[in-house]
Amino acid sequence: MENKLPEFMTIPQAAKKLNLPQNLLRTLKKDGIITGVQSGNRVYINMDDLIKYLSTNKIK
């Protein structure tokens, strides 16, 4: 059985890849809707959680 490691990206990287505003990603992380880790000044977003959230919720 192979364990898949989660993919992490910085907020600017994730925003560029998914064509979303950086502020949206920061708000989702701050509100605990998506997970991530902070290393120094950078926040790394769990892309699996973000894509799962985006596929099951509508953004206004």
18 within 8 A of 50, measured Cβ to Cβ: yes
pLDDT of residue 17: 95
Q: What is the pLDDT of residues 1-51, one digit of tens each?
A: 577 888 999 999 999 999 999 999 999 999 999 999 999 999 999 999 999
Q: What are phi and psi of 43, to 5 degrees?
A: -110, 130
What are the domain boundaries of the chain?
1-31
Q: What pTM, to 2 d.p., does this model score?
A: 0.80
CA distances from 40 to 2, 14, 44, 49 (A): 31, 18, 10, 22
> Could you give the CA distance from residue 53 to residue 38 in angstroms, rounded to a whole number?
20
